[in-house]
Amino acid sequence: MVWTRKDLLGLEDLSKEELELILATADSFKEVSSREIKKVPALRGKTVVNLFYEPSTRTRVSFEIAAKRLSADVINIATETSSVQKGETLIDTGTNIQALKADIIVMRHNYSGAAAMLARHLNISVVNAGDGWHEHPTQALLDIFTLKEKLGRIDGLKVSIIGDIAHSRVARSNIWGLTKLGAEVTVCAPPMLIPPAIEQMGVVVTHGIDEALQHADAVNVLRMQFERDTEGAFPRQLEYFKSFGITQERLSKAKKDIIVMHPGPLNRGVEISSEVADGINSVILEQVTNGIAVRMAVLFLVSQGHDKKYETTN
Amino acid sequence: MKEKAKILDKEALGRSLLRIAHEILEKNKGTESLCLVGIRNRGAYLAQRIAACILKIDNASVPVGILDITLYRDDLTLIAAQPVVRKTEIGFDITDKNIVLVDDVLYSGRTIRAALDALIDLGRPQTIQLAVLIDRGHRELPVRADYVGKNIPTSLQEIVEVRLAEVDGVDEVVIVDKE
């Protein structure tokens, strides 16, 4: 299996073999972070630009650490303090970064499809760090990597995703990745937060939390993004916790060794209780650690990809 | 690809490794602070076999690690063949140890250059020595081996193939013509 893509835009386009290559490469990179000198020279002399149009701490820091452990130079651009405020378009920003001879842009943007559009206009690599409600491929990859590490396989696993499925790029990327690798995915949320025709993605829909937990090998608890509720579709926090919150009591009816994941940041007492978040079934902090290995693998692979649409002019 | 000559068969290969094991013990005066590190892929199996020889000779087991040098290669940015990154598995502290690096074929010396960088990123060994099954010449860097199974003068049109039971189902070393 040879990696040919210069960009990582989402998991929807990837083949099963490409997903497996990323996971295997990440497994090799994990050891680097356990060394005393946590650095390898694979991206020495390359420049990675983090271009974030939405606030993010953990994803940006994780990408920055990953790039630095590969010996790349990292520049962070927060758009609140950049010329974006003066009206520069996304493509102009991208071509300028390319003209500065950067090699990889890691971008978070509030519009779905923004990363794909930028990638079409540039010869340098683009890694999607979240675009609108569309995809967040590296988050799903680190979720899947953690699951595989814990349970030894993905094929045949029953995974339930709980929470705001409608507005969640994490859910969408997880569904694409997990179903391609053979997992059975159930999504669970109040009816208002389930997008229409989600069944066409190959998932089972339920509105009952106990049903979603009953046979699951793992549960991925999404953060309730109350700041995104512009349509009044969200229940009140306490009401949500009562009906859908993951508590020790609900977990006691599930498989004893069920894996509990959460992409962070946690709303304790809203989608998950503190007892569960800090409990023995939780792998939330391991996800954070694995995120570095997964992002190292992605940065390394796209730097090797050469399906460039245009001949490099820079 | 035409097979030209068989350089080592199963027995000869085994004897070469046994001799290398003896030489390692002689030079290091035993197994104290001795460790073997095999370079993926076939060097890793050869290191295991040399360790088995040392166990037989001296009744001492030496730690064996595996090094993947992909991330340290000097041709990573050349587009041709894309290498797969595999795990480095060295489960011991290499600082102050006497490390014997093990590889199948010594050729340009670039793999060994990468391996030295990779090892030194993991700690500060007392010494690093080099054992190879085949030295085929044509060095591009100032590298030499401390222990050699067999020296084979080759032309640049030839390829030396080391085949091991663990990966190839058979123990032998052959020369084939590039074509």
- Asked whether the bond before B41 is cis by omega within 30 degrees of 0, the reply is yes
List all residues of chain A from 66 to 125 with a beta carbon under 8 Å from chain B.
70
Q: Which domains does chain B have, with CATH numbers?
A: 2-177 (3.40.50.2020)
Which spans in chain A are helix H?
16-30, 58-69, 90-99, 114-121, 137-151, 169-180, 209-214, 237-244, 248-251, 274-277, 284-304
Answer yes or no: do A40 and B71 touch at CB < 8 A.
yes
Residues of A marked as catalytic? 58-59, 86, 108, 136
**A41 contacts on B by Cβ (under 8 Å):** 71-72, 117
User: Where along chain A do its domains lie?
Assistant: 16-136+291-304, 137-288
Nearest residue to B20 (alpha-carbon basis) of B130, B138, B144, B137:
B130
Amino acid A229: pLDDT: 67
Q: Which of A27, A36, A42 is closest, CB to CB, to B76?
A: A42
| Sign, CA torsion B167/B168/B174/B179 | negative
Q: Answer whether residue A313 shows pLDDT above 90.
A: no
Lowest mean pLDDT among A35-39, A108-112, A294-298, B61-65: A35-39
- For the segment B164-168, the average pLDDT, to the nearest whole number, is 95
Nearest residue to A296 (alpha-carbon basis) of A44, A62, A112:
A62
Amino acid A226: pLDDT: 76
Amino acid A310: pLDDT: 43
- Rounded-to-integer distance, Cα A28 and Cα A294, Å: 10
Strands of the sheet containing A184-188, edge to edge, are A204-206, A184-188, A158-162, A218-221, A259-261
- Rounded-to-integer distance, Cα B149 and Cα B133, Å: 4
- Rounded-to-integer distance, Cα A198 and Cα B68, Å: 43
Over residues B3-29, the pLDDT tens digits come to 889 999 999 999 999 999 999 999 999
Q: Answer whether residue A89 shows pLDDT above 80.
A: yes
Nearest residue to B82 (alpha-carbon basis) of A4, A123, A293, A43:
A4
- Rounded-to-integer distance, Cα A22 and Cα A295, Å: 9
Over residues B90-130, the pLDDT tens digits come to 999 999 999 999 999 999 999 999 999 999 999 999 999 99
Angle at the Cα of A24 (from B109 to A170), degrees rounded to 5? 140
- The mean of the pLDDT values for chain A is 93
The residue of chain B nearest to residue A38, with distances taken between CA atoms, is B121
Nearest residue to A30 (alpha-carbon basis) of A263, A295, A303, A302:
A295
Phi-psi region of A231 (alpha: psi -120 to 50; beta: other; left: phi over 0): alpha
How many angstroms separate the CA of residue B28 from the nearest CA in chain A? 27
**A38 contacts on B by Cβ (under 8 Å):** none
Amino acid B80: pLDDT: 54
Q: Which residues contact B47 (CB under 8 A, 6 or more apart)?
A: B36, B37, B38, B64, B65, B66, B100, B102
Beta bridge partners of A160: A186, A219
Residue A85 near residue A28 (C-beta atoms within 8 A): no
CATH superfamily for domain A137-288? Aspartate/ornithine carbamoyltransferase (3.40.50.1370)
Amino acid A20: pLDDT: 97
Counted across chains A and B, CB pairs separated by less than 8 A come out at 41
Over residues A216-275, the pLDDT tens digits come to 999 999 998 877 666 677 778 888 999 999 999 999 999 999 999 999 999 999 999 999
Beta bridge partners of A204: A186
HSE, side-chain direction, 13 A CA sphere, residue B128: 20
Residue B147 near residue B24 (C-beta atoms within 8 A): yes
Which pTM value belongs to this model? 0.89
Answer yes or no: do A35 and B72 touch at CB < 8 A.
no
- Rounded-to-integer distance, Cα A141 and Cα A127, Å: 13
B84: DSSP letter: P
Fold of A16-136+291-304: Rossmann fold (3.40.50)
CA dist B25 → A29, B48, B53, B140 (Å) = 34, 15, 11, 30
Q: Answer whether residue A206 shows pLDDT above 80.
A: yes
Residue A6 near residue A305 (C-beta atoms within 8 A): yes
* Chain B touched by A38 (CB under 8 Å): no
* Chain B touched by A2 (CB under 8 Å): yes
pLDDT tier at A177 (50, 70, 90 boundaries)? Answer: very high
**What number of other Cβ atoms are within 10 A of residue A35's Cβ?**
15
**B118 contacts on A by Cβ (under 8 Å):** 40
Residue A311 near residue A16 (C-beta atoms within 8 A): no
Fold equal for A16-136+291-304 and A137-288: yes
